[in-house]
Amino acid sequence: EAGVAQSPRYKIIEKRQSVAFWCNPISGHATLYWYQQILGQGPKLLIQFQNNGVVDDSQLPKDRFSAERLKGVDSTLKIQPAKLEDSAVYLCASSPGLAGSADTQYFGPGTRLTVL
Amino acid sequence: GNSVTQMEGPVTLSEEAFLTINCTYTATGYPSLFWYVQYPGEGLQLLLKATKADDKGSNKGFEATYRKETTSFHLEKGSVQVSDSAVYFCALISPSNYQLIWGAGTKLIIKP
């Protein structure tokens, strides 16, 4: 079975520019997650979707970050405008069950963002 | 609150050495416990998991036992290979909000 797909793999932008990341979860997975992983740290959850609805976005900096999961499949995470501290790897993950379960999460390869 | 603490790295071993990476946790209730591995340039992969006390997760020669009495989930492997060089993350799913809580990761370097 195909894994979680993400693009692009790498992105370099200037501060104050905007950027968007795309994720295609494993087919049939109801729950989708976006994480931010800063070098040397564990991932930090930004937002969690169940189908096309937001379950948890409490750690998403909503003044600059936005995410959507139209039609409950693919998802896009956007940063506008970017700051230097946004430099990180952005990971997308999916799990088969509904939010509120202890299902295993499956991760994509990530997008490495560098903000100059 | 819920948290995961793992030993700081890097851990450097010679090939065929015995590996232990310590992981302890704090959680209310009975969390599920996980080890994920991140190879250079790749995404996170589930290595093994355990969902209840005394369960042993195992995969690719790695093992970890869910010890509720010591709130630990230490990762072990009897004989490491160069290809095991990676960053290893211990994590738990909180039974209160089902969020995945991560340790900081331990970088493992295996020398031939």
pLDDT in tens, B67-112: 999 999 999 999 999 999 999 999 998 877 778 889 999 999 999 9
Average pLDDT over chain A, rounded to an integer: 92
pLDDT at A1: 65
Q: Is the pLDDT of residue A81 over 70?
A: yes
Residue of B nearest to A112 (CA): B41
Question: How many CB pairs (< 8 A) connect A and B?
Answer: 45
Q: Is the pLDDT of residue A100 over 80?
A: no
Q: How far apart are the first and last CA of chain A?
A: 37
Query: Which of the residues B46, B100, B101 would you substitute to probe the A interface, choosing the one with the greatest number of A C-beta atoms within 10 Å?
Result: B100
Residue of B nearest to A90 (CA): B43
Closest partner residue to B43 (CB to CB) among A101, A102, A107 is A107
d(CA A66, CA A80): 8
Q: Which residues of B touch A110 (CB under 8 A)?
A: 43
Closest partner residue to A102 (CB to CB) among B44, B46, B98 is B98
